[in-house]
Structure 1
Amino acid sequence: MTDTLQKTDWRAIAAELGPVEVIDEPVLIKKRSRDFFWYSPILNAQLKTCFGDLVARPAKREDLAHCLAVAYRHDLPVVLRGGGTGNYGQAVPLCGGLIVETTAMNRILEIGEGYVRVEAGALMADINAALIPEGWEMAMFPSTQDIATIGGFVSGGSAGIGSIANGALREKGNIISLKALSVEAEPQERIFDAEEALQVHHAWGLNGAITEVTLRTVPTRDWIGCMATFDSYRACYAAGYALATSETIGRKLCSAVDARIVDYFPRLDGHVPKGRHLLVALVPREDMEAYRSLIAAQGGTVDLALSDADRQERGIPHVFEFAYNHTTLQVLKADRTATYQQYGVGDPSDADAVARLGETVGNDVWQHHEFARVDGRIVAFDLPIIWFTDEARLRQIDGAYEAAGFTVADAHTFHVEGGGLKNADYRHLAWKKRMDPKGLLNPGKSRAWETVRHLSADDIEAMAKD
């Protein structure tokens, strides 16, 4: 593939891609060759010199099909890109080639009873803005909704604001269907139903170019952004678990944040007291009295409870900008020596175990937990701030978490198998063989693909059943 690219006449490719818009200015190509991999110093060292050769911006499905046909004809690697908000280098071209940015494919096609159908490049903030006047909202969205596309979220995301109520993205019913194009001489569009769509979900664009997504929506509510503080992190976490498991209080977000991290939130200065641990939540207005009672019973103080209009008037960001990986971003804005990791809590009800682990791992690990729902049960995962020294120390921290019964979903690898969703399941690679027979989509991102690419799709699928 490298030899082919060295001989490629990119000016001729750009002309052949017409009338699709192309970007050939080196500075802009480099910018679109990056995502948020720099959250990881390990990935930053590995990926910072990886760039594409040309960018195409299709505006409709036919344009995207044309781009894929040109790539197939010339054996060009293709990396699909939305807003570039992924953290693992999903949108970074390891082998150069063509970057296809889908942000111009952004139409909201249909809003119906409990669903929305949109093009892959639609921004999630725009989708929510269209849904709410119709009485609906997205079942979940990431904290980066203002720049993240729905195709990118389905390809590379897994949970977000709303997952505490509606489960992870892979939960049954959240993805209703999607459409994706193959990479062939004449690309074909295939409809993936809810079950098959899970093979395209979180596959990093390896096995098809998503064109449309149909997602579950839920009735919108009058959400109040809440911030409560606590003297200890144990109490903060325990209150988060109590809120997450409450049978009487609705919630769309529930995040516990160590006080040392909160010090890196300058836009909360004067709004929450210094030195206290923070519980961030979204609670419906009708449940606020019960929420305040719960926080008081857990030993906390409600410092902020704002409607969206109140929040805007006071110049405070959305509460979800202090949750999920926006928390990491807030720290990285001030100090790039920080990083993070992804850990699953073995028993989310055991606040003592969480507190003990916080004391065990040391002062270079600052805890931050998100609560979500998976398979109908409440789970918690830690996205701690880790003050990075070297990989050996990072793996020592991983070992301490594992010894305490926590799981590790490594945020410091650019292989799709590293994150936990595609580890031992070859079905998504069987679809890659069908949809991308030359292996042009996002090459280098799957270790397992290199061992099975010579097999037929049926043989690859059979491996998943063994």
Structure 2
Amino acid sequence: MAMTSISGKTSLDWEGIALALSPVGLIEEPVLVKKRSRDFFWYSPILDRKLKGCFGDLVAQPATVAELRHCLSVAAAHRIPLTVRGGGTGNYGQSVPLEGGLILETTRLNRVIEIGPDFVRVEAGCNILALNDALKARGRELPVFPSTQDIATIGGFISGGSAGIGTVSHGMLRDAGNILEIRVLSVEPEPREEVFRGDAINLIHHAWGINGVITELTLRTVPTEDWIGCIVTFDSYPDCHGAAINLATSETIRRKLCSTLDARIGTYFDRLKGIVPPDRAMLVTLIPRGQMDDFRALVAAHGGSLDLAMDEAERIARKLPHVFEFSYNHTTLQALKSDRKVTYLQILFPAPVNVAKVVELRAVLGEDVFMHHEFARMGGKVVSFDLPLVKYTTDERLYEIMSIYEAHGCPASDPHSCIIEEGGMKKADYRHLAWKKRLDPLGLLNSPKSREWARVRDMTPEAIEALHQP
């Protein structure tokens, strides 16, 4: 049994805690505990410096909700800092324990409980690929899922994600109807269940696991399609972007993905060499087989070349990745495999999306910025998120690039901070913190990830909610 703190940040009796957690499965080997203390924060050189020395002390792997309740009860009794972890695919250190303590790994809570005609009930630790496979057998699929579906868990995606494959057609996760119900447990000697539905789902969704432990989700499903993974190339990035705008806003062509990538990004894609010509901007998309003729016409109208069009059987036969593994932050991962000096940013191009804004920014951004846009629907309007690859030199240069985008009307979300109010939110969501006070009154759940928690933790939930400004 672990007698001393692996993290060096706690002075608890870890042998006694391990005994108290029985019969829950545990990971105690320091090397393995340290591996479970990491996510993909190393995409950021800033977070890599800050978080690479942060570790938990013990990993619990509850296999049932009853075992999870037991873990939370023990944590409350011993005042143990808690970090909830799924597949560990977050980019901002969401599942990194800043105070040491107990890591709750949810991957054994993986049951698909019920598949209905247009919904699915599932435990939070279910792998998303396994979930989509179960749905496909019933002719359904998730409307939105991450490019990391092979590893990610559905609870982790709902806790830390906001968009993904499908957002271009089905909106953000937070948009009405995508998440139907979230069930969570409190961290108390006698953990309580709370159920969130309707607009209330956003009191828990995208809160980074700071204000309750998700146990079960009910999600909308949509009919599955015979998707054809396509990569189209263009002479210029503005031409590529114009085609993507027409695809993303089309009322006739359905699409599951709409991504554009600067030609220079293609040099990182070893798996596409000999398939996609070099030095050409890329449009990456998923199109239903029955609409490929319409899509080919759109491509031709914009002067593009359809260089790859494959269904799932062909993809497997050719041993190629899904095309969505060249989108979202999988793009960053592909680049980092060969160049560890690359990092990324997160920029919103608000509606109405247009090629002129791309041309305007390309004229003022340096040669160290490679544009990469993901088209999405937000509040019913088509927007795009630029996740540019950046040749990292200094922290100051990263923030200078962000300021250039902002000066041109494109808000930046800081992916180089592990503090929730410094990232995409930009300000505290006091509704999240009010529910943290209700469901985590001892402040054990990932508390250092919120800058504002230390200021409001002694307030009542009602007083915290009163601070909220839409």
Equivalent-residue separation in structure 2 for 1:5 and 1:107 (angstroms) = 34
Q: Where does residue 3 of structure 2 map in the other structure?
A: none
- Conserved 8 A contact 2:10-2:100: no
Structure 1 residue 356, shift from structure 2 partner: 2.6
Partners of 1:162 and 1:252 within 8 A in 2: yes
Q: Which amino acid aligns with 1:38?
A: W
Distance apart, 1:460 and its partner CA:
0.7
**Residues 352-379 of structure 1: CA distance to partner in whole angstroms, max 9, x if unpaired?**
2212312311111000000011111101
Q: Which residue does 2:146 correspond to in 1?
A: 142
1:86 corresponds in structure 2 to 90
Q: Which residue of 1 aligns with 2:16?
A: 12
Residue 51 in structure 1 maps to residue 55 in structure 2: yes
Deviation at 1:464, TM superposition (A): 1.4
- Once the two structures are TM-superposed, the CA of residue 146 in structure 1 deviates from its matched residue by 0.5
Structure 2 matches for 1:58-457, cutoff 5 A? 58-421=62-425, 423-457=427-461
How far off its partner does 1:196 sit? 1.5
Aligned length: 466
TM-score by length of 1: 0.98
Unaligned runs of 5+ in 1: none
For the 8 Å contact 2:44–2:344, the answer to whether it is kept is yes
Q: Give distance in 2, aligned partners of 1:363 and 1:464.
A: 41
Conservation of the 8 A alpha-carbon contact between 2:7 and 2:100: no
Q: Deviations over 1:400-443 (max 9, x none)?
A: 10111111011011011123347243111110000000100002
- Indicate the SS of the match to 1:184: coil
- Cα-to-partner distance string for 1:339-364 (whole Å, 9 max, x where unaligned): 00000013453212212312311111
Q: TM-score scaled by structure 2? A: 0.97
Deviation at 1:162, TM superposition (A): 0.6
In structure 2, the CA distance between the partners of 1:210 and 1:126, relative to structure 1 (3 Å rule), is same
Contact 2:428-2:452 at 8 Å conserved across structures: no
Secondary structure of residue in 2 paired with 1:154? helix
CA deviation vs aligned residue, 1:171-222 (integer Å, no higher than 9, x gap) = 1010100110000010011111132221111111100000001111001111
Give, in whole Å, the separation in 2 of the partners of 1:464 and 1:436. Answer: 19
In the other structure, the counterpart of 1:39 is 43
Q: Distance in 1 between matches of 2:264 and 2:396?
A: 24
Q: Is the 8 A contact 1:202 1:421 kept in 2?
A: no
Q: Distance in 2 between matches of 1:244 and 1:357?
A: 21
Say what the alpha-carbon RMSD is for the aligned residues. 1.6
- Pair 465,397 (structure 1): closer, same or farther in 2 beyond 3 Å: closer
1:62-93 deviations in whole A, cap 9, x for unaligned?
11111111110011100000000000000000
Cα distance in 2 between the residues matched to 1:25 and 1:9: 16
SS in 2 for 1:19: coil
Change (3 A) 1:398 1:429: same
